[in-house]
A and B are shown apart, each in its own frame.
Chain A
Amino acid sequence: MTDEVLQIRDLRVYYHTPSGPVKAVDGIDFSLMRGERFGLVGESGSGKSTTAWAIMRMIKPPGVIESGTIRLGDTQLSRLSQPELRNVRLSEIAMVPQGAMNSLNPVMRVGDQILDGIRTHRNGSASRDLTERLKDLLSMVGLPPHVMNLYPHELSGGMKQRVCIAIAISLQPKVVIADEPTSALDVVVQRQIMQTLSNIQRRLGAAILLVGHDMGLMAKFVDRIGVMYGGKLVEVGSVRDIFLEPKHPYTQLLISSLPSLDAKGVLRGIPGTPPSLLTPPPGCVFHPRCPHVMPRCSIEVPDPRMAGAERWVACHLYT
C-alpha cells in the first residue's frame, strides 16, 4: 500500500539478563497510514514503550532488536547505520518520550534547545530565518514568542511539554511518536496538549503513534488502536470497533474495567496478574487470566487473524 508511512513486521526486542532473555516485544506487526493517529495501548510491561524506542532504533543494551523490519516510507530503518539514523531521526521520524518535559536542559534557554536540532540537521540557515522559524514553531504549539528567551524552570509542566512537542515537529517529520505525552499533567492541560497535537498533525499531515495506557484518551483522540499484552499485539482495529465490539478477551475485560461517569456499579478488574516476560506462559500469553480459556490456548500461540475490515485479533476463539 502506498499510504503506509511506517511498517513494522515481526519486531522482536529482547532484554538479555543473567536469568535469560526477557521478551519485551515478541513478534508484532502493524502499520501507520499517512496522516493517521494510531494508539498503542497496554499495561506497564506490555512492551508498548519498548516498541516506540525500537522504532527509533534507540534500544539500549542489554536490550537487542532480535529480528523484524521497520520501514519508514522507502527507508529500512532496521538496516541503517548509526550516522544514517542520526539524519533520519527528528527530520523523518521524531519522538516525544515519556517524561520528556523533565529532560529539558535547565541551563539552556528554551529557544536554543528547539533550534539545537534544526541547526544540527540544516546547518547554514541564516539566524534571522531561524528566529522566524522558532516563532512559528512556538505559535504552532500555542506558546507566545517570548517563551524562547525563558529557561525551563520558568515554565509550567504543560508549557514544557509543548516545548518538547515543538522540538519533535521542528523538522516536519512524517511520523511523530508520543509516549504518554500527558501522563504527568492535569486533565485540563492534557486536553489542551492533545488538541495542540491534533492541530499540528492536521497542518503537517504527519502520522502520530500515541503510546499510552489511558483508554479514555485513546477513545477521544486516535483513529485506530493496537492492544498490547505481554509483548504481543493481541488486537488491532478502528477505535469504534475496539470500544463497541472488542473481540479479544483481554480487550473486552480492559474496556469493562474502565470506571466511567455513566452507570455506577460493581467495579470489575481483570483477575490474575500480568505475565512474567522472562518465563511467559506457553501458548497464548493471556490464557492464565482468560475467562474463555480452552485446552489449545495453553499449547498453541494464536496467530493474528483478520476479523473484519482492518481488524486483526490473535485469539483461538476466532480461528
Chain B
Amino acid sequence: MTTLLEARNLSRVFGSGPKANVALDHFSLTVDANASSFIAIAGESGSGKTTLARLLLGFDRPTSGEVLYRGRDMWKMPSRDWWQFRHEVQAIFQDPFEVFNPFYKVDHVLSVPISKFRLARSKADARSQIENALLAVGLRPEETLGRYPHQLSGGQRQRLTVARALLLQPRLIIADEPVSMVDASLRATILESLRKLHTDFGISFLYITHDLPTAYQICSNIIVLYRGSVAEVGDVDLVIKTPRHPYSQLLISSIPEPDVETRWDDDETLPSRSDVTLAPTRGCRFADRCPAVMPMCRETIPPLYHVDEKRAAACFLYRDLPVLLPTGEATPEAVV
C-alpha cells in the first residue's frame, strides 16, 4: 500500500508548564493513496479535531511526531513537494462566509487554482472545467458565475468551496465541519455531493465533525476523539450502534434524535457532570466523567484494545482483550 498521508505519533501542545494544554496526544492515522476511504473524525469542542485538521493540512507544526506526505516528512520536504501536496490534498472549511473575499466575484476562487496549477490549456478549457465542477456539486454555472459572495446563500457558497476543491482533482479532501453552519434543508444536499465525489471520482475524505448522525450516514470508518486522544475507532456501524467506550456511549446516547417515540425523560439520571474543571491527569482523560471508572484508570493511560474484529476502544474495561496498538496510536486501517 502506498500511503498518501500519514500522521505518526502526532502531538500538539499549546503553552507549556503546568498550564500546558495537550490538544492532540500521540495520534496516528494513515490514508491510502490508491484505495479511497471515507473516515470520520468525531469529537466535541476541545477534542482536538480541528488541531488535527490543521496539522494534517500543514497549517501548523506538531510539537512531536510527524506528518508524512507520500512518505516524506512534511516539514522537511522541498517546495516542489509542497506544491504537489497542495494539489493533491484539499480542504473545505467550516465557515462558508469567511473563505471568500467580498471584493472579488466568486469566479475568482475558482480561476485562481486553475491558473496557479496551470490546469487549463485555454480560456475555453478553464471555463468548461469550472462549469463541470459546479455541475458536479449541483450548482448551475449561469446562476453562480459572475456573482459576488454576498449574492449567494450559505449553502451555495459552501458548495462553491467544494467545487473549488474538486477542480484540482485531489486524492484527499479534509473537510472540517463542512455543514455545521449550513441550514438543515441544505445540509443533506451538501453531504450528498461529498458522497458523490467519493463514489464517482474516488476521492478520499477525512470528515471532521461533531455531528454523529451525518458521520454515520456518509462515512465507513470513524475515530472518536476525546480531549486529544482516541477513545474508540473502527467501523462506523459498530461504533454508532453498539459503542463500547463509555465516552462514545455517553456521546451517542446524548444525540437528540428526531424521534418522538423516545423522549428525554426528566427523571432520567443526569449523565456525570462534564462541567468539572478538567485537571491534567496521568491516566485516562475520561476518568473524571466515567461512570465505570476504576482505580487503575487514574494511574495509566489505557491502550487501544481490540474489542472486536473491526473496532478498538481505549478503555481498561476491555483489558482482557488483545492490545491493538500501544497507548494512543490508532489507525483505522489496522482495525478494519
- Spell out A's residues near B (CB within 8 Å): 43-44, 142-143, 155-159, 162, 186-192, 194-195, 198-199, 202, 213-217, 219-221, 239-240, 243-244, 253-255, 257-262, 264-271, 273-274
Contact = CB atoms under 8 A, between A and B. Distances in A.
Interface in B83-125: none
Interface stretch (B9-17, B62-70, B213-221, B303-311): B213-221
Interface in B258-283: 258-260, 263-264, 266, 268, 270-271, 273-275
A188 B217 contact: no
Nearest to A43: B183
A156 B275 contact: yes
Given A187-B44, A187-B256, A273-B153, A159 B275 contact: yes
Interface in B190-207: 190-192, 195
B40 to A, nearest CB: 12
B256 A268 contact: no
Q: Which 3 A-B pairs have the closest CB atoms?
A: A269-B189, A216-B256, A270-B185
A208 to B, nearest CB: 13
19 contacts: A43-B183, A143-B275, A187-B212, A187-B254, A195-B268, A215-B184, A216-B257, A216-B258, A216-B259, A219-B257, A219-B258, A255-B258, A261-B212, A264-B216, A265-B217, A267-B188, A269-B189, A270-B185, A271-B189
B210 interface: yes
A270 B263 CA distance: 26
Given A260-B257, A260-B258, A269 B210 contact: no
A195 B270 contact: yes
Contact of A215 (B155, B217, B258): B258
A244 to B, nearest CB: 7
Interface string B231-263: 000000000110000000011101111111001
B156 interface: yes
Contacts of A191: 254, 256, 264, 271
B194 to A, nearest CB: 10
Contacts of A190: 254, 256
B45 interface: yes
A261 B213 contact: yes
B258 A269 contact: no
B72 interface: no
B256 A219 contact: yes
A157 B274 CA distance: 10
B335 interface: no
B298 interface: no
B307 to A, nearest CB: 20
A187 B251 contact: yes
Q: With a 10 A CB-CB cut-off, give which of B189, B190, B192, B257 has the most chain A CB atoms.
A: B257
Contacts of B264: 191, 194-195, 198, 220-221
A255 B254 CA distance: 20
Contacts of B212: 187, 261
B58 to A, nearest CB: 28
Contacts of A221: 256, 263-264
Nearest to A263: B217
Contact of B188 (A189, A194, A202, A269): A269
A255 B258 CA distance: 8
B145 interface: no
A220 B257 CA distance: 8
A267 B45 contact: no
B54 interface: no
A273 B213 CA distance: 23
Contact of A259 (B185, B191, B260, B271): B191
Q: Which of A143, A162, A269 has the most CB of B within 10 A?
A: A269
B61 interface: no
